[in-house]
Structures are given as structure tokens and as C-alpha cells.
Structure 1
Amino acid sequence: MNASNINAVFYADTYHPIQAGSIDGTDTLPHDRAIYRALLCSNAGLYDPFGDPKVIGDPYCTVFVGRLSRQTDEEILRKVMSKYGRVKNLRLVRDIVTGASRGYAFVEYETEREMRRAYEDAHHSIINDSEVIVDYYRQQLMPGWIPRRLGGGLGGRKESGQLRFGGRERPFRAPLRPIPYDDLKRLGIPPPPEGRYMSRFEVPSPPRRRSSHGDKEDSPYVKRRSKDGEEPSHKRQRSPADRDDSSHKHRRFYREHSYDKDDSSHRHHRHHSEHSYQHKKRSASRDYGS
């Protein structure tokens, strides 16, 4: 990889504490003490991403909103995020002692389509004079995830001394040095995807569920039902009693109109016979010169 391709990047599909602390995803040693803490939690299984009682809602319909202003409350955030879809739940994380905002929140939408709209359009938007970042809900969707309070997470600022790479805001840079494949394999770190790097200006797509029921409900091609839950009458399946009654009516109608039908057929046959007789008579007269 040469220096001319400095804009080539890649993103993490799974989380590894050592890799997250590396600017190009190829380091094999931790860079700060927080990485040791995250590595301990990961190896010992001390963190359960599904064990947080405060987490509610569908992770595929939820976005993470970070770098919020301390003056941004739930009402302001809901009003802003409602521009991208119908907000179902909103949780602004606050300090457990003071109650002050910690600068990030989780917003759940009604459907995945609305979540993706917010994911694409709300990133780097301005809320209360603060440029926010928007990402998908990695806690339950990214394998191996370790939160920032335990030394993990993604992003961060240089002043914090806990920079983490591989996310939307700070992707991995394509390596400019040889990749130590053997060491990465020994540590369980996925190697960089050589030949499949993305541009720094491309937006990585969030994970998709195998079958999105939310998108089906939102699709215009869904079979609509009436308000009481019944199908339209022209599509409703008839019961055996309805079919028997319909057959009975059809037979009765046929019997009532069978005479007219036979009489019409008889008149048509008689007219055709008379026409044939007259035609033969004229032909015979011409043959005999009369």
C-alpha cells in the first residue's frame, strides 16, 4: 500500500480491543491501560451486551447519537430526530448522581427504513450548536463489543487518551507496512481486507436482519386489510356453505332459462333448414336451364 492511497480505509465488523486501539488495525500490543481493561473483560466474559436492564427496543431500529450538547434534553432531541422518521423510544443517558446529560443518547424508530434514514442524514448535523455523530447500535449488533466505560468503545478525542478506531467516525487506515498475519491470527484479530478497501468518503452500511418485518409492514405492496382485520370481500375465501348456496342458485337460474334457450336454438335450426332447401331448389333450376 503506498502513500498515494491515504484515503483508503476499512471498518470493523467485529470488535477486538487491541485492534480498536490501532490506527491501521494491525497492532498486536495494547497502547494504553484502558485496552488492558477491555481485553480482560473480553477474555473473561465479564460484559454481557444483552444483560443491561436499561436497554429496550429493537437494536436494528435504533441509532446511537453522540457528542450532544449538555443543554440538549429529551424534548429537543426528539423534535430533531423526528425529522427522519417516527420515534418510538428515546433514552438520553444521564449521570446517575447529578442527573446531568452525559452527551449521548439512543433513539429507536418504528422501522429499519426510518433508522437508516437517520443514520445517513443525521450524521454531522447540528443540534444546539454541537455537531453530533450518528452510528448504528453496536452494543447488540457488533460481535465482541466492549463499551467505553470498560476501556472499549469507538471514536473518542485525542485529549481523552482513549482513541479507538474502526468505527464510522474514525475508520482504520489502510496499512502502510507489512501485515503480521501470523500474530493477528494468534490473537484472534481479523486482518485488513486487502484489495477491498473503501474510500474515506463512503458510508458503511449498518447490519441488516435476515427478514425485516418492519420494512414489510411499511411496504406499499403489503396486502391491506380492513379496520376490523378482515380481508376485502372480493378476496375473502368463501365457505363451503356459501359455495353450495351459489351452486344452487346457478342451477335454478339455468332451469328457469333453459326453455328460452332451447326454443331459440330450435328456431335457429329451422331457419337454417329452410334456407338450405331454397338454396338447393335454385341450384337445381339453374342446372336444368329453367
Structure 2
Amino acid sequence: MTQFLPPNLLALFAPRDPIPYLPPLEKLPHEKHHNQPYCGIAPYIREFEDPRDAPPPTRAETREERMERKRREKIERRQQEVETELKMWDPHNDPNAQGDAFKTLFVARVNYDTTESKLRREFEVYGPIKRIHMVYSKRSGKPRGYAFIEYEHERDMHSAYKHADGKKIDGRRVLVDVERGRTVKGWRPRRLGGGLGGTRRGGADVNIRHSGRDDTSRYDERPGPSPLPHRDRDRDRERERRERSRERDKERERRRSRSRDRRRRSRSRDKEERRRSRERSKDKDRERKRRSSRSRERARRERERKEELRGGGGGGGGGDMAEPSEAGDAPPDDGPPGELGPDGPDGPEEKGRDRDRERRRSHRKNGYLMEAAPE
């Protein structure tokens, strides 16, 4: 049948070409021996230069040395810039410095959201203000955080200088000082290496307020800055961090104690409420039993009254039979046994005797129930 298949299918069944014959190899590649053994770099040592002609080794710069070099270069550049700006700085010819310098107050550390009207309201309490100049950044137009306030009278400026230092405005305590650029000889701004000098040395324990700001002789006895300020700064930060952690632990313990007290009070209140509810339920049960006993007593008395009334209207000797029943349980004296009444065995005397028996039986039953009922 395969002879009837198309050529393309017959090609699938065609035999492959025979495998060509190759002569066998004498040795495999890993079995062959190299004529020249491995020798390393020994033959090339003569190509090296003489160590006497080699340049001396260069020492690489460490990371600490590189940082120190950059710091020194930065300080030197800054010193050059400060020297250049000091030559050009003249506060008396500054176009922005206007008004009387001895009536002008310098206010620093002002909140960036504080407006000129707010500053005027805060500092007008010391006297009339002539002008307020708030300093803004020339590039961004945002406030720099300080301003100059010129009073109409010099005594008002001195009053604000003494009493307004450390005043809190919009959540920040401002620093108040006189304008030193035009009033103090040799003074330089902070950007040129100067500043407030000895008036602000640190925290509230070392800051000098109000009087004596210009007297620098009192600062000679104070110790100078630490030779390693970064270590002192790290130590202060670590101390502050520990204090904050202790405060947080104390606050957390206070909250826990308050929560424990609240839980204890709530448990005591719940216990007291349960005790009161139990007492109220007991009182209700006791009152209910009293009412039930009273109602039974009332019903018994009503039955007795009805029976007495019924016995009193029964005929011949009915009136005499009611008296012995009230006196006790003794049976009435109706004569010798075996004798019948005037009306026979079913006469009124026999009926009254039966009623007395029933009454005594009911008395005994009610008395047992009253004794069994708890108070």
C-alpha cells in the first residue's frame, strides 16, 4: 500500500545516509601529555623593571582624612568670603536701615506665621510705635523670622527691651535686643561671624537677660567652649532622650494605675449594685409573703364571719351553738349521748355540730399554714 502514498509522505519513510567512518583516535584530549609544562610567571620575571628604578609608593587618603580636608577647605573659603563681605559692610550706609537707631528694637525668633499687625498689638503696650520693618527673603519672599520696631520715644524702647524679652507670641518665645549695628562699635552680624555675643549663650540657666548685655567682662570667668562640641551635643541629646523616655514611662504607669483604679471602682460598684439588687429581691419576696399571709388571714376571717352569720340564723338552738365555737374547741353540751334533738337526727342541732367540726378543722389547717409560712 505504501507505493500509493504521495511523494511527500514517502519521503518521511526514506532511509538516512549511512554514518561515515572515522579512524579511531590514539588518545583522548585529557589523556595527552603537554610537551611544555606549566611554569607560571617565572620566565617573565626578567621583563619586570628594576625595583630601584620604580617610583616610591603613594599613600591613599582615608575617609576621615578626606572629610577633615574638605572641612578645612570649607572653613577657609568661608573665612575668605567673610573677609570680603566685611570690607563691603557698612551699617550706616545701609538703605534698609532707616529711622533712629537708639529708638529701634530688634525682635528675633519670631514665628513665621506672625503678621505685622500682631507684632504691633504685642509691642504697643510699651509705647506708641512709629514703624515696623519685617525682614523677608529676597529669593523666596518668605519671612526670615526677625523684625525691627522703631518707637517714637526712646524710653518706650528701653521699657520693651527690659520687659518683652522671652515673651511668647504665636507659640514661640521671641528674643528682644537693641539694634547693635549702628549703636555698638565693632559689632558684626551673625552671618559675618558676630551676633548677640554673650547675651545668648545657651539655655535659660546661662542666658543673660535685660541689664548687663554690653558688659563682656563678666564672661571671662565662664569656661570656654568644649574642644569636642559634637560629643557634648551628642551627650546632651542622649540625656534628653533618656529623660523623655522616663517621662513617657511615668505617664504610661500613671495611665495604667488610673485604669486599674477605674476597673477596681467599677468592680466595687458592680458588687455593691448586685448586693443591693439581692437585698431588694429579698425584700420583695418577704413583702410578697407578708401580703400573701395577710390575704390568707383576711380570707379566713371572712369565712369565719360568714359561717357565724350562717350559724346564727339557723333556728332553735342556733344562737347558743355559736358561743362555744368562739370560746374553744370543746364540743357543745347537747345532753346525754344517744338522744336525738327535737327534730330528729337531721335537726338544726346536728347541723350546727357539723359546722363546728368543719370550723375547728379549718382553724387547725390555717394555723399550720401560718406557722409554716416564713417571715
* Fold in common (TM above 0.5): no
Determine which structure has the larger helix proportion and give its number: 2
Task: Give the TM bin, normalised by the shorter chain.
Answer: 0.3 to 0.5
TM-score normalised by structure 1 residue count = 0.43
TM-score normalised by structure 2 residue count = 0.33
| Higher CA-based Rg | 2
Determine which structure has the larger strand proportion and give its number: 1
- Higher relative contact order, structure no. (Cα contacts within 8 Å, ≥ 6 residues apart): 1
